[in-house]
Structure 1
Amino acid sequence: MSIQPIGPVAGPLRITGPAEVGGTAAPSGTAEVFGNLLTQGVDTLQQTQANADSLAVKAATGDLQDAHDYMAASTEAALATQMTVAIRDKAVAAFTEIMRMQA
C-alpha cells in the first residue's frame, strides 16, 4: 500500500480584492482602487445630504411624523461633511509635503 499525494499544495493566501467593483471589472492599480473609494465616499455623502434635505422639507411642510428622524439625518450629514473636509485637508497636506521632498 503506497501513499498517493492529494494534489499540489497552495502557497500563502493572497488577497487580490473583489472581482467586481460597481458592476465592472476590478481595477488593476492602487490609484484606481483609491479613486473608486473616494468616489464611493462622495456618493455616500451626497445621498446622506439628500436624505437630510428631504427630511428638512418634510419638517417644514408638516409632513414629518418624528422630528428625531430629521435631527439624526441632519447630524449625520453634518458629520459626514466634516469628515470629508478633514480627509480632503489631510490629502492636500500630504500632497504638499510630497512636493516639498527633494528628489
Structure 2
Amino acid sequence: MENGFITPIRAWGSMSDISGAGEAEKKGGQSQLFQNIFYNAVQDVRSTEQNLQKQQYLLATGQTDDPHTLQIAASEAQLATNMLVQLRNKALDSYNELMRISL
C-alpha cells in the first residue's frame, strides 16, 4: 500500500518523541517541557479571552453579521479556562503525592 498522506502509528519511546520536546530537553530538561505546557495553557486562556471580548464588542456595536461567533468564542474561552484549572489541579495533586512519599 502506498504511504501517501497516512502516517503510520508508532510507539513513543520517551517524552522527547513528543513534538517540540527535543528542543525543551536541550534548554533545561523535562522542567522546561513542563513549564512550556503551563505557559501555553495560560497564553491560550489570554488569547481566547481577548477574542471573546472582541466578539462582545462587535456584537454590542452592531458590527457583526453572525452573532453565533460570540457563543463560539465564549465556549472556547470557557474550555481554555477549564483546561488550565485542571492542569493546575493535577500538578497540585502530583506535588502533594510526592510530599507524602517517605524516603
Tell me the TM-score normalised to structure 1 length: 0.72
Aligned residue in 2 for 1:96: 96
What are the Cα deviations for residues 33-80 of structure 1, in whole angstroms up to 9, with x where unaligned? 211222122112211111011101111121121111111011111111
**Partner amino acid, structure 2, of 1:70:** L
Q: 1:40 to 1:97 in 2, by over 3 A?
A: same
Aligned residue in 1 for 2:35: 35
Aligned residue in 2 for 1:72: 72
> Alignment identity in percent?
30
Unaligned runs of 5+ residues in structure 2 are: 1-13
Unaligned runs of 5+ residues in structure 1 are: 1-13
Q: Which has the higher helix share?
A: 2
Q: Distance in 2 between matches of 1:86 and 1:78?
A: 12
Which runs of at least 4 in structure 1 moved beyond 4 Å after TM superposition?
14-21
Aligned residue in 2 for 1:53: 53
Aligned residue in 2 for 1:11: none
Q: Larger Rg: 1 or 2?
A: 1
**Partner amino acid, structure 1, of 2:71:** M
Q: Distance in 1 between matches of 2:64 and 2:91?
A: 39
Displacement of 1:28 after TM fit? Answer: 3.3
Aligned residue in 2 for 1:81: 81
Q: Distance in 2 between matches of 1:79 and 1:28?
A: 30
Tell me how large the CA RMSD over aligned residues is. 2.5
Q: Larger relative CO (CA 8 A, sep 6+): 1 or 2? A: 2
